[in-house]
Chain A
Amino acid sequence: MKVRVLVRPKSGILDPQGEAVRRALPALGFEGVKTVHIGRLVEMEVDSADEVEGMCKRLLANPTIEEYEWEVVQ
């Protein structure tokens, strides 16, 4: 099955990447962008979803600075 994991900076954590993009968008003429947060998308094919939570906690995300969510997509 296919699993999609979304990892992103916890709210309140400085996200310099997102901030740089937020500032770049108006420079290209895209107005009205209030916030930009940049995370990471991990797509995996796995035999079972049983271990996905553990994978997120131990490796895919760093719980000190990131939050994650995952879903079985197929």
Chain B
Amino acid sequence: MRVGVTVFPGSNCDRDALYAVERAGAIPVELWHADADLRGADAVVVPGGFSYGDYLRPGAIARFAKVMGPLEEFAKSGGPVLGVCNGFQVLTEAHLLPGALLRNATMRFVCRRVRARVEATDTPWTSLLERGEELALPVAHNEGNYFADERTLRVLEDEGRVVLRYLENPNGSLNDVAGICGPGRNVVGLMPHPERVSDDALGSDAGLRVFESVLRFVGARV
């Protein structure tokens, strides 16, 4: 089982994501932004960072990188895709996830661990978590303030597509949204960083199950 991690100029969580993937038991595959295919990946992580310097808007330029073509096709055909932080921003810009991530309401870059509650476990990335479970996960972002129009937000809530919800909202996101999934549930975006807590040596391995979940999902599908 191969899990790809996209690398754009300015990505800075790609190594952490590759490490978490490997630790979960999959083969980590680096996907360069200029790649024309996904190198046979069974699942793809779009990692955090500041792709293209966050110029224009976070994720706005990365969304048009070459690798995003095959990634969008992969996502639309049901392939598991996880966007973390800047990756979440890229996926909203690519319209693979609804809404947008605005500047934090506090106008401050927030970098700390926050408590969040798992709200949906019927996604490839959260199946090994427990619904209602509280996790302490690191956030590190300037634009994590989730926004969607009222109708979209209602659909997300009605369809149980808020995957992760802050118990202590660090950025002003609507409905305390920390993570959502797309209509097919295979595309998930999270502002917190599960890959940064994938090993007890990092203080916690609370995030490792996110990567183990996708292994189980792909394994079960084969």
Contact = CB atoms under 8 A, between A and B. Distances in A.
B31 interface: no
Contact of B100 (A16, A17, A20, A64): A64
B55 to A, nearest CB: 11
A17 B93 CA distance: 21
Interface residues of B, number: 20
A17 B57 CA distance: 14
A14 B172 contact: yes
B180 to A, nearest CB: 14
A13 B107 contact: no
A59 B64 CA distance: 9
Nearest to A42: B56
What 4 pairs across the A-B complex have the smallest Cβ distances? A64-B100, A65-B100, A16-B103, A16-B107
A5 to B, nearest CB: 12
Contacts of B167: none
B105 to A, nearest CB: 5
29 contacts: A13-B102, A13-B147, A14-B102, A14-B145, A14-B147, A14-B172, A16-B102, A16-B103, A16-B105, A16-B107, A16-B145, A16-B172, A17-B103, A17-B107, A20-B107, A59-B56, A59-B60, A59-B64, A60-B56, A62-B57, A62-B60, A62-B93, A62-B100, A64-B92, A64-B98, A64-B100, A64-B147, A64-B148, A65-B100
Interface of A: 13-14, 16-17, 20, 59-60, 62, 64-65
Contacts of A64: 92, 98-100, 147-149
A16 B147 contact: no
Interface of B: 56-57, 60, 64, 92-93, 98-100, 102-107, 145, 147-149, 172
Nearest to B149: A64
A64 to B, nearest CB: 5
B99 A16 contact: no
A65 B147 contact: yes
Given A13-B102, A16-B145, A62-B57, 7 more contacts: A14-B102, A16-B102, A17-B103, A59-B60, A62-B100, A64-B98, A64-B99
A17 B108 CA distance: 10
Contacts of B100: 62, 64-65
A70 B103 CA distance: 24
Contacts of B147: 13-14, 64-65
A59 B103 CA distance: 18
A55 to B, nearest CB: 11
A30 to B, nearest CB: 19
